[in-house]
Amino acid sequence: MKKNYVLDTNVLIHDPRAIFKFEDNDVIIPIYVIEEIDQFKREGTERGRNCRQVARYLDELRERAEDSLSSGVPIGDGLGMLRVAVPTARGDLPVALDHSAQDHAILKTALDVRDRDSKNPTIFVTMDTNLRIRADALGMEAETYENSKVDVDTLDSGVVELSVDKREIDEFFQSGAVVPKSNGIKPNTSIVLKDTESSNHTALGRYDAQKSAIVPLRVPREGVMGIRPKNKEQAFALDLLLDDSIRLVTLVGKAGTGKTLLALAGGLRKVVEDGTFTRMLVSRPVMPMGRDIGYLPGDVDEKLNPWMQPIFDNLEFLYGHGKRDNSAFHELIEGGLVQVEPLTYIRGRSLPHQYLIVDEAQNLTPHEIKTIITRAGEGTKIVLTGDPHQIDNPYVDSSSNGLAIVADRFRNERIAGHITLSKGERSELAEIAANLL
């Protein structure tokens, strides 16, 4: 049965092409959504860009319409229709000048669409959890936008345990490679080889798709920047971070598992000591893709300090090895080898031969993640870290955030690697708190 899908503004901002992704159903956009799109279109941010793109799509459809957008225009294969809905009782609806009035106006428009078309089901689509609750309380069927969703609880951990006989483990240590019996292993999957006769007899490796063999990890015995892996997941993560052939690494895990520290240690090693990359660029999307920092006092650097201090703390610890004198680290920043900046200014840039770390990437939408990855120039490596269960962005959740989507979509790619870190290593207190609170 054909359905009517009424879209909220945040759906179009999240994915400007959402209007084309409802197959042969009808897509209805309340007039108040157009008004809010108009409010945001002048922003020099990712939100502003998406609003301008939505306006262009709607204008193209307007030119194709035989009558007007309020009457409808075919979309997709021509089986579905898109129209802009104007409520019949316009006088008692508030203009969308503030957030609460706008939500009220959009929701009342969806109810009006439902009441006018009793033959077909009407579904209100919004990424605002509270608005879905309000819609449900008013008897309106509401859903979130699920075009890009992954089940984070079943997300591939990036680690596979293989039971082998003692001879194969001995061969692995002697020759430096072993061919697995299974052919279904994904590229760059981390492998735990376990002796079938003795569970204590194990070996750690990674599946090399080009060689079709499991090869040893490349983590030095002395560690990286004074940091040694404290568990096998951290060893796997460092191996991915130090391999120049892997251009995209996703590190997922709860607080205290070492995601950021390992990423920074790998970056410092490859930039400062090995000279493989020209610069390490670090950023956090606490103010994702252009969220304003103007209200904070000082110049750009002073405005960024409150947001970027966790990065500075980790970098000072790594380069100073916990010592008070961190002058060498500050020389790296002043010399341009290490740069910390917001993602606000990344659009339009090309970043060649750089080691790019995006911390707290779970707060980015899939479209924002795409913007970041497509900035990568020749020879650039991108590391995304975060915890899908700790999200501050109100319009993404654990299954629709950019970090989870990228980790899932890139699992079959030869130049990408993924590890889920599960054991907290920050401190005994932090680990107990993460599990109990």
In CATH terms, the fold of domain 4-143 is Rossmann fold (3.40.50)
| Sequential DSSP letters for 80-116 | EEEEEE--S--TTSPPSSSHHHHHHHHHHHHHHHHHH
> Residue 100's pLDDT band (boundaries 50, 70, 90)?
low
Q: What is the mean pLDDT of residues 289-298?
A: 51
Asked if domains 4-143 and 220-436 share a fold, the reply is yes
**Lowest-pLDDT choice from 171-180, 249-258, 363-372:** 363-372
- For residue 312, CA distances in Å to 156, 303, 330 come to 31, 14, 10
Whether the pTM exceeds 0.85: the reply is no
pLDDT tens-digit readout, 368-397: 888 889 888 899 999 999 999 888 877 778
pLDDT digits (tens, 9 = 90+) for 228-279: 899 999 999 999 999 999 999 999 998 888 899 999 999 999 998 899 999 9
Percent of all residues in the chain with a pLDDT value above 90, rounded to a whole number: 41
- List the 73-75 sheet strands across, edge first: 73-75, 80-85, 26-30, 4-7, 122-125, 142-143
Mean pLDDT of 166-185: 87
- 3 state SS of 12: helix
Return the pLDDT at 113. Answer: 92
- Could you give the CA distance from residue 179 to residue 375 in angstroms, rounded to a whole number? 36
Percent of the chain with pLDDT over 70: 88
Q: Which residue has the higher pLDDT, 110 or 314?
A: 110
Q: Where are the alpha helices (DSSP H) in 247-293?
A: 259-268
Chain centre distance of CA 51? 20
Signed CA dihedral, 275, 278, 279, 280: sign only: negative
From 264, 274, 285, 243, select the one nearest 338 (Cα to Cα). Answer: 264
Domain ranges in the chain are: 4-143, 220-436
More confident residue, 418 or 330: 418
The mean per-residue pLDDT over the stretch 326-330 comes to 68
What pLDDT, on a 0 to 100 scale, did the predictor assign at position 28?
95
Rounded Cα distance, 34 and 91, in Å = 18
Question: 78-116 burial string, b = 16+ CB within 10 Å, else e?
Answer: eebbbbbbebeeeeebeebeeeeebbbbbbbbbbbbbee
Decide if pLDDT at 290 tops 90. no
| pLDDT tens per residue, range 115-170 | 998 899 999 999 888 899 999 999 999 998 876 678 777 788 999 999 888 888 98
Q: Please, which residues have CB within 8 angstroms of residue 152's CB and are 6 or more apart in sequence?
A: 388, 389, 398, 399, 404
Helices (H), 360-427: 366-373, 402-409
d(CA 393, CA 372): 17
Query: CB under 8 Å to 115, separation ≥6 — which residues?
Result: none
The CATH architecture that domain 220-436 belongs to is 3-Layer(aba) Sandwich (3.40)
3-state DSSP assignment of residue 178: strand
Give the whole-angstrom CA distance, residue 409 versus residue 294: 36
User: If you ran DSSP here, which 8-state letter would residue 186 be given?
Assistant: P
Q: At residue 238, what are phi and psi to the nearest 5 degrees?
A: -60, -35
The amino acid present at 161, given as its one-letter code, is E
**What is the average pLDDT value for the chain, to the nearest integer?**
84
Q: Give the rounded distance of the alpha carbon of 75 from its chain centre.
A: 29
What pLDDT is stored for residue 325 in this prediction?
Answer: 53
> Rounded distance, CA 312 to CA 147, Å?
37
